[in-house]
């Protein structure tokens, strides 16, 4: 197994009316989502063996999640919870394709520790997780169990912490969960907005990562349409994003993460062995993957394959790498 993803799988109802509020919008697209689920789908579309451990409801939406993920090749280890409805997220689009969320929390909070099997974690090359699964007691226990096993087995830990205000009534508790997730990460992807939330009043990314407790191999701070800044040890750089016609941005960061992990797996996750130009190309490719995902509605249908990423990079005159 290449990557074991752990955390939330849900249904995104994405407003198709840019600029409309959730009060006034009437047209929505229903799409399977949740950051770990999107990363697993993105990796599968890039030809990797990705397994997802998650809990969904024993309902039509839970079955849709399984159907959509298996259709793109994800190895699903999903529990169908008979007592809790599948989590739903309602996504409002801003005029520039930016988003705001409202959640109907359900089954994703009931990821159980017994769903995390030691042999599954140990056979993975990467464990990928976020911070939302640290919200509820049972899913928190399951997530920390997976991280402990991964650390003991030498499995690389990849993390993308996300701030969703609607899910955290206590802001300080949410910030603490994100900091805890970051502290365990060997590879970190975090948006500049989320980093600013975790470490307020610090505009220097290196300083902010240090204050957040990141001690891993590689951190990428995504900047939306401006691309990504990155740091690997003492090396830093910034890569622009290809300009595309943005439809909506759900899953763009997850596509970035999937592409980043895909290319790092090619070099056995040995970031230190990468030449400066190779590291730059890997991050540039991840930016292209994110940009392509923003050109359609719903994350999983819009997640690109390798040929799509290559085509966009060639279009902007960038090196496609291998």
Q: What is the pLDDT of residues 253-293, one digit of tens each?
A: 999 999 999 999 999 999 999 999 999 999 999 999 999 99
Rounded distance between C-alpha atoms, residue 243 and residue 226, angstroms: 9
Rounded distance between C-alpha atoms, residue 284 and residue 259, angstroms: 10
Instruction: Give the CA count within 13 Å in the CB-facing half-sphere of 14.
Output: 26
Rounded distance between C-alpha atoms, residue 220 and residue 182, angstroms: 12
Rounded distance between C-alpha atoms, residue 133 and residue 136, angstroms: 7
* 59: phi then psi, degrees, rounded to nearest 5: -150, 180
Convert the pLDDT of each residue in 300-314 to its tens digit.
889 999 999 999 999
Rounded distance between C-alpha atoms, residue 288 and residue 235, angstroms: 21
Q: What is the mean pLDDT of the chain?
A: 93
Rounded distance between C-alpha atoms, residue 102 and residue 65, angstroms: 19
Convert the pLDDT of each residue in 42-75 to its tens digit.
999 999 999 999 999 999 999 999 999 999 999 9
Q: What is the pLDDT of residue 44?
A: 98
Strand order in the sheet with 10-15: 28-33, 10-15, 88-93, 99-104
| 100-114, 175-189, 271-285: least confidently modelled range | 100-114
Helix/strand/coil for 31: strand
Which helix (H) or strand (E) segment holds residue 182: the answer is helix 171-183
Domain locations along the chain: 3-315
Convert the pLDDT of each residue in 67-87 to its tens digit.
999 999 999 999 999 999 999
Residue where the block lists tokens 């966009």? 312
Query: Residue 27 corresponds to which tokens in the numbers above?
Result: 């047209």
**b/e code 138-171 from CB counts within 10 Å (16+ = b):** bbbbbbbbbbebbeeeebbbbbbbbbbeebbeee
131 alpha-carbon distance from chain centroid: 10
What is Dmax (Cα atoms) for the chain?
52
Q: What is the pLDDT of residue 99?
A: 60
**b/e code 287-300 from CB counts within 10 Å (16+ = b):** bbbbbbbbbbbbbb
Residue 275 has what DSSP assignment? -
Query: Would the CA dihedral through 182, 185, 186, 191 be positive or negative?
Result: negative
Residue 272: burial class (beta carbons within 10 Å; 0-12, 13-18, 19+):
exposed
Full DSSP string of 93-148: E-TTS-EEEEEE--GGGG--GGGS-HHHHHH-SEEEE-SGGGSSHHHHHHHHHHHH
pLDDT at 92 over 60: yes
Helix/strand/coil for 151: helix
Class of domain 3-315: alpha beta
Rounded distance between C-alpha atoms, residue 301 and residue 67, angstroms: 13
């Amino acid at each position: 197994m290449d990557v074991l993803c752990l955390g939330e799988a849900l249904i995104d109802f994405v407003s198709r009316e840019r600029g409309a509020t959730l009060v006034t919008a009437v047209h929505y697209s229903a799409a399977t989502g949740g950051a770990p689920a999107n990363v697993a789908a993105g990796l599968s579309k890039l030809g990797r063996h990705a397994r997802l451990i998650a809990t969904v409801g024993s309902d039509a939406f839970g079955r849709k999640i399984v159907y959509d993920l298996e259709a793109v090749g994800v190895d699903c280890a999903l529990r169908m919870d008979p007592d809790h409805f599948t989590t739903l997220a309602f996504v409002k689009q801003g005029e520039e394709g930016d988003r705001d969320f409202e959640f109907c929390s359900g089954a994703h909070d009931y990821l159980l520790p017994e769903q995390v099997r030691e042999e599954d974690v140990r056979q993975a090359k990467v464990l990928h997780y976020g911070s939302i699964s640290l919200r509820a007691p049972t899913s928190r226990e399951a997530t920390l169990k997976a991280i402990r096993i991964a650390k003991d087995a030498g499995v690389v830990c990849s993390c993308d912490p996300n701030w969703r205000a609607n899910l955290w009534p206590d802001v300080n508790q949410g910030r603490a969960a994100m900091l805890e997730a970051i502290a365990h990460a060997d590879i970190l992807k975090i948006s500049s907005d989320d980093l600013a939330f975790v470490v307020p009043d610090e505009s220097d990314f290196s300083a902010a990562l240090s204050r957040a407790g990141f001690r891993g191999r590689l951190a990428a701070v995504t900047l939306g349409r401006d691309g990504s800044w990155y740091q690997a040890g003492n090396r830093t750089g910034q890569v622009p994003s290809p300009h595309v016609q943005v439809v909506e941005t759900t899953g763009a960061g997850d596509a970035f993460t999937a592409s980043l992990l895909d290319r790092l797996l090619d070099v056995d996750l040995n970031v230190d062995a990468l030449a400066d130009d190779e590291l730059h190309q890997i991050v540039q490719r991840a930016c292209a993957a994110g940009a392509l995902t923003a050109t359609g509605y719903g994350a999983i249908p819009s997640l690109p394959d390798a040929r799509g990423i290559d085509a966009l990079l060639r279009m902007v005159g960038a090196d496609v790498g291998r």
